[in-house]
Structure 1
Amino acid sequence: MAAAAAVAALQAWFWNERFWLPHNVTWADLSGEPGPPGSGIQYPRAGHVFSAFPLALGIFAVRLLFERFIAKPCAINLGIQDSGPHRAQPNAILEKVFTSITKSPGGKRLEGLSKQLDWDVRKIQRWFRHRRNQDKPTTLTKFCESMWRFTFYLSIFFYGIRFLWTAPWFWDTRQCWYNYPFQPLTSRLYYYYILELAFYWSLMFSQFTDIKRKAAKLANYAKYQRLCDAFFMLFGVVFIVTRLGIYPFWILNTTLFESWELIGPYPSWWLFNGLLITLQVLHIIWSYLIIRTAYKALMRGKVSKDDRSDVESSSEEEDVTSNSTKGVLSPSSNGSNRINGHVGSGQWTEEE
């Protein structure tokens, strides 16, 4: 009894009408049906959110089938092999050290391992590099993940545009706030939001193995560099136009100013708009990183790496760097940092 009372009190506190709803509106007011009986039209309800949980399991199952029977054959046809990085040769002593620190040891510990195993220091460092890399996903796995996300985002975009294009409030945002929150929830709008929410819930099942990547990565994994560069430039233009143009001057304008004028602020209004403004700050930061990457691409002739993404270096690249170069960081004459070193008998200089 005490536990049930505590749960009821917690629910009453969390779903407080004075916080979530405009003045003089209650949850009971939204429990009716605005359309004719049996029409299926109803007002949005908090309980609709729970519909996304079972659907998320279904989307996750669809993803597994998609990656196995659609994405993987596409990757193989493009010449992407299911080959991972170099595997480290079995060594119980080094494996024990790796599980405790997961990185290459240094200083006296490295010298001690060198003497204990009678291995060169460089060989031990290479072993740790290979051991870290063998836990990373293969290019085939990364391609399949990216293709799944690209397919879903593209599909849900066209699905949303199909019915949003005919919605009156899509063109006149002030209609979003007329008679708010007594606005009928159509089946198309319901499925749009539930599918989106279920998709992101499905990512909870794989969040510890997935690595976020962009659609342009597909071209990168297939080694279509020109197509990859074109996709990145297109993405940059679309991102900046939508995030720095449409979002603040259309979305934030209606949530901040038009809603204030037509319904007035209430407690959750401040919460929602605070989150939307925080998102706009992130948009500005991400846009700066995209522009910086695009500028570097124009200077170098290709997109080297998206500054917003995680570094995805292969073991082969690291081997070349460690075996063929031995550099030191020193200031150049113009004030920028340069790495100076030797490759064979020739000298090289690379700007950071």
Structure 2
Amino acid sequence: MTETSLVSGMIGTLVGTLELDPSLPVSRITINPSIAPNNNSRNVRMYYTNASNSLVNEALYGTLYLTYYKTNGALASKTLTTETSYTFNRLDASRPIRFYILVNTNTYTSFLENVWGWIFRPADGRFVAMGAQPAFTLLSPSNTTYPVLSNQGETTLPTPFVGGGLPGPGGDRTIFIGDIGVTPSWWAYYNVADAPVYSISFATENVYIDDITQAVLAPVPLTNVTLNVENYQNTYLGQSRVNVRFFQAGYPSFRFLHENDPTAQLPYTLWVNQTEIPYNTPFSPWPAPMQASNSKQISLKVNQQDLEAAMEGQYTTTITVEIISGI
């Protein structure tokens, strides 16, 4: 929360930068939903822990604020409060659009003062995160919705300004507060939660399936995928959910490749419990609340018709799991 010069009386933070394809005639942004004072769930929420380590949150009225460049080089800006869309005026699509979330400086200061009792003792509580619900879509002059590539993958669905997924400190629609940025003399009294440091490991990295026909009736176990939070004791995860992406580099879906003829392929699907893992799409195998080590068994299944059509021989495949979001 260090941006203080964008709008008088407001303090906030940058939550996203949008790089546009200059060849696309983007005409406006649709905000859904906007941050509005008549809907408490859409306000900016401040998350912190109290002296008993319980999660507490408080809603502050906020606004969305965007900046962009016009074709004449001038910097333009717009405060988005109750609007559901904003039409650009001579947008220079070769330069980025920046989004900010702002809250009233006096309200923010009062919020800090209200929790001063536990903040004065750093061991008693910690700031965790700031969250907001709004998302956006890009529209052309003919109302065509353009896909947006973010840490949630490429989609034409509304893209959250802060990551995506669940709201709150457990979701990736939040950001860590970090530097309080109101009064330097207060900094020494704040104990801000550290950002989690994640890593992924596999129980077995090289798996051999002796009889693939067993994967027709039900998914066969491959390995356990474990998400480790390396600094778990120094973070507050609450109802955390961390998204990962399962994919096979260079291919639009999962498939085995024949070792002698890569054009001969056998499609397959991946499963966790009774849920199919979506290909190259944000997915969370681990339910909240998160622990220091979170493990789930990954299984594989093939279709009978695909198996019958497959060429005889040995097949291989490489699966990549990538952390794409989370706090």
Same fold (TM over 0.5): no
Larger RCO of the pair (alpha carbons < 8 Å, separation 6+): 1
User: If you compute each CA radius of gyration, which structure gives the higher value, 1 or 2?
Assistant: 1
Higher helix share: 1
TM-score by length of 1: 0.20
